[in-house]
Amino acid sequence: MKIALLGFGNMGKEIDRQISQSGAHQVVSKSLQQINGQSDVVIDFTSAEVVLSNIRKVAALGKNMVVGTTGWYEHLDEVKRIVKRNNIGLIYAQNFSIGANIFFKVVALAATLMSRFEDYDVYGFEVHHKGKLDSPSGTALRIAREILDKFPAKKRIQTERTNGRISTDQLHFASIRAGRNPGFHQVVFDSLADSITLSHTAHNRSGFAQGTILAAEFIKGKKGLYNFDAVFK
């Protein structure tokens, strides 16, 4: 498979490294201007400010896409229209790490179980390196949605600083940006008697790159809009 990379930061470089080492695929371009007819799939790890423009341009070229950039999901309906109009395939995810996607399911199951016992409250927090562009992370928002879907006492997410008591129907999910951490997410179910803590720690970016390449293999030749959940199904 011939792959074009948009965004050659830390993630782009790790994807390029893994593809070069495996020899199973080939990176044929590393910028939007260089995308040519040979590309089977375009992988985007740029920024929320330019990703929608990138999707429009790549779709107009008739190329399938993997979008790992986060922070654009308010435009999801527009992206659906772009995908349909240009008859391409596009797969996106808040996190392409296979372990993180398993973690989503673990959190959902735990929230379902814990919601039956009113003594338990739930909260979360995440830590990323100081260069990360979005806060909270797309992964944190996905975890929060899993909790809101399964824990009826929580109706809305609070990611900003609180000045005073938090409402009992708010799910507080805090963010820290510092150092070099590639990604840490934790969920805590807390009661007077005890606490249950679930966490996912990314040791490096290799897991994200592995999942992204898996997504590219999945979307090649397909039409329509997919979430990474489709790969697991």
In single-letter form, the type of residue at position 148 comes to L
Strand partners, 188: 123, 197
Its sign, for the CA torsion 173, 178, 183, 186, is: negative
CB atoms within 10 A of CB 214: 16
| Cα gap 7→229, rounded to integer Å | 23
Exactly one of 25, 63, 128, 172 is catalytic; which is it?
128
Exactly one of 2, 13, 132, 223 is catalytic; which is it?
132
Please indicate whether residue 132 is annotated as part of the active site: yes
Specify the residue for token string 């039956």: 116
Residue 125, helix vs strand vs coil: strand
Please indicate whether residue 129 is annotated as part of the active site: no
Integer angstrom CA distances of residue 105 from 59, 145, 228, 230: 31, 11, 13, 14
Tell me the Ramachandran region of residue 24: left when phi exceeds 0, alpha when psi lies from -120 to 50, beta otherwise.
alpha
Q: Which residues are catalytic?
A: 128, 132
